[in-house]
Amino acid sequence: MTANVLLTGGAGYLGSVLAPALLDRGFHVTVLDNFTFQQDSLLACCANPRFSVIRGDARDPDVLRRGLRHADIVIPLAALVGAPACQADQTNARSLNLDAIKLLLSLRSPRQRVIYPTTNSGYGIGEKGKHCTEESPLRPISLYGVTKVEAEAAVLEVGDTITFRLATVFGMSPRMRIDLLVNDFVYRAVNDRTVVVFEGNAKRNYIHVRDVARAFLHAIDNYHAMQGEPYNVGLSDANLSKLELCAKIKEHLPNFVYLEAPVGEDPDKRDYIVSNAKIERTGFRPAHSLDMGITELRKGYEMLRNSRYGNVG
Average pLDDT, the chain: 93
**Residue 137: inside a domain:** yes
Q: Percent of the chain, pLDDT > 90?
A: 83
pLDDT in the model for residue 263: 73
The stretch 10-20 carries a mean pLDDT of 97
pLDDT range class, residue 171, cuts 50, 70, 90: very high
**Is 125 domain-assigned?**
yes
Closest alpha carbon to 279 in 134, 145, 125, 155: 134
- On whether residue 15 sits in a domain, the answer given is yes
**Residue span of the structural domain in which 67 resides:** 4-169+207-234+275-287
Query: Where does the pLDDT of residue 269 fall: very low under 50, low under 70, confident under 90, or very high at 90 and above?
Result: confident
Question: pLDDT tens-digit profile of 59-78?
Answer: 999 999 999 999 999 999 99
How many domains does the chain divide into? 1
Q: Give the Cα separation of 251 and 174 in Å (integer).
A: 26
pLDDT at 310 over 70: no
Q: What pLDDT was estimated at residue 85?
A: 85
Instruction: Assess if residue 157 is contained within a domain.
Output: yes
Q: What is the CATH number of the domain that holds 216?
A: 3.40.50.720
Q: What are the φ and ψ backbone dihedral angles of 210, each rounded to 5 degrees?
A: -70, -30
Distance (Å, rounded) from C-alpha 226 to C-alpha 58?
Answer: 26
- Return the DSSP state at 96: I
Query: What pLDDT does 115 receive?
Result: 98
Query: Count of CB atoms within 10 A of residue 141's CB?
Result: 17
Q: Which residues pair with 274 in a beta bridge?
A: 132
Within 10 A of 38 (CB to CB), how many other CB atoms are there? 7
Q: Is residue 119 part of a domain?
A: yes
The answer to whether position 50 is within a domain reads yes
Q: What are the residues whose beta carbons fall under 8 Å from the beta carbon of 219, sequence distance 6 or more? A: 115, 162, 164, 226
The verdict on residue 255 lying in a domain is no
* Residue 161: half-sphere exposure toward Cβ, Cα within 13 Å: 26
In a domain, residue 266? The reply is no
